[in-house]
Amino acid sequence: TLCLPVPNGKTYTLSPGTYCDKTLSGNITLNPGVYIMRGTTIKPGGNGSLTGQGVTIFLMESAQIYINANEKVNLSPPTSGPYAGITIFQDHGNTSALTLNGGANSVLSGFIYAPDAPISYAGNSDMSAQGDCLRLVGNTIQMTGNSSVKSDCAAALGNRTMYADRMITLVK
């Protein structure tokens, strides 16, 4: 698999493709499409941002996303095609923590799937305002702050219905 280069600087736009063994920081814009991150860390850093509409990010081989409170995130999934509704997909066996602590005006929608990793979801913003859809699947999920989660996901799934054959229960 060809690993694409990351431009120099603190503000850049990436095209869909595979990125390997990099740390992405600063103001990062993702063009619509599928991104495969192999051993890559996405960590915008102080006052940085991660923005992308119609994107699916695959986190492979210990790749991770770390969004801290002063950083802005604005991500939404594609609404059609094979990855409709999926914003972040972390592969089985990848136990790297997924940290989504968005700052003011952050928007995150779609499905976040990290079955073997802890997910930390916090912030003081309505992280699912756009599209009214956010669903989290993780080994553990810790929710703190004033964030809200909405789960009207029909539009994000391309108006397909998602059926779950199991009831999800919170256990204390």
Domain assignment of residue 33, given as a range = 11-143
Write the CA distances from 161 to 85, 131, 169, integer angstroms.
11, 16, 21
Residue 150, in any domain of the structure: no
Q: What percent of the chain has pLDDT over 90?
A: 34
**CB atoms near residue 118 (< 10 Å):** 15
Residue 132, in any domain of the structure: yes
- pLDDT of 103 reads 67
- pLDDT of 165 reads 46
Write out pLDDT tens, residues 105-157: 678 888 889 999 998 877 665 555 455 677 888 898 887 777 666 666 666 55
Residue 160, in any domain of the structure: no
Task: Report the pLDDT averaged over residues 97-111.
Answer: 79
Residue 161, in any domain of the structure: no
Residue 162, in any domain of the structure: no
Task: Report the pLDDT averaged over residues 9-27.
Answer: 91
- pLDDT of 126 reads 52
Question: What is the three-class DSSP state of 33?
Answer: strand
Residue 152, in any domain of the structure: no
Max intra-chain CA distance, the chain: 47
Write out pLDDT tens, residues 144-162: 777 666 666 666 555 555 5
pTM of the model: 0.84
The answer for 111, left when phi > 0, alpha when psi is -120 to 50, beta otherwise, is beta
Residue 28, in any domain of the structure: yes
Higher pLDDT, 162 or 34: 34
Q: Indicate the number of domains in the chain.
A: 1
Task: Quote the CA–CA distance of 91 and 69 in Å, as a whole number.
Answer: 25
Higher pLDDT, 41 or 158: 41
Residue 83, in any domain of the structure: yes
Q: What is the mean pLDDT of the chain?
A: 81
Q: Are 110 and 55 in contact (CB under 8 A)?
A: no
Task: Quote the CA–CA distance of 168 and 137 in Å, as a whole number.
Answer: 10
Task: Quote the CA–CA distance of 7 and 142 in Å, as a whole number.
Answer: 34
Task: Quote the CA–CA distance of 63 and 41 in Å, as a whole number.
Answer: 6
